[in-house]
Amino acid sequence: MTLRYHTALSPEEQLAFGMATPQPLAMADKVRFAELDVLRHVNNKAYMTWFETLRVAYGDLYTLGLYPKGEPQPRVVIRSGEVRYVEEMLMGEDYVTTAGVTAFRNTSYTMHQELWSGGRLRATFDCVIVTLYPDGSGRYPLPEPVRAHFQNHDGAVAH
């Protein structure tokens, strides 16, 4: 399989890479030397950067364009998060990072992310994301098109 980097992977490509089930968004890349620590395995900070890169891509691709035209874009912040490191990664390994929304409320949503390499789950990140008005003055409600996307595309549950 030829792995396409920095491009949303199809469900078929995700399965061919060895992932258990296709996710709403998945993109591939390769471990770089700058991401290693002194023990020559991937530094924990790199995992968080990979997860953040895909979370931002998810928003750019799927949600920010669904906010009403002429309305300000929300400030999107992580309220809480939990990372789970499963297995180390090494220089040159191809990997796929995923993102999908699992649940949402009026002004927040929960995102689950995974990191796969060599047909094995290497790390996960679960976080609660809150949308605020651009000036930070309060919570910004999720518009109906965003809520519908979470349900119809990701299979997220409304709470």
Domains in the chain, start-ordered, CATH in brackets?
Answer: 11-158 (3.10.129.10)
Q: What pLDDT was estimated at residue 71?
A: 87
Tokens of 142: 């999720």
| pLDDT one-digit tens code per residue, 14-37 | 999 999 999 999 999 999 999 999
Q: How far apart are the C-alpha atoms of 154 and 126, rounded to whole Å?
A: 15
pTM: 0.94
In the predicted structure, residue 146 carries a pLDDT above the cut 90: yes
Q: What pLDDT was estimated at residue 157?
A: 97
Q: Three-state DSSP class for 47?
A: helix
| Phi and psi based region of residue 14 (left: phi greater than 0; alpha: psi -120 to 50; beta: remaining) | alpha
In the predicted structure, residue 156 carries a pLDDT above the cut 90: yes
| pLDDT one-digit tens code per residue, 65-121 | 899 899 889 999 999 999 999 999 999 999 999 999 999 999 999 999 999 999 999
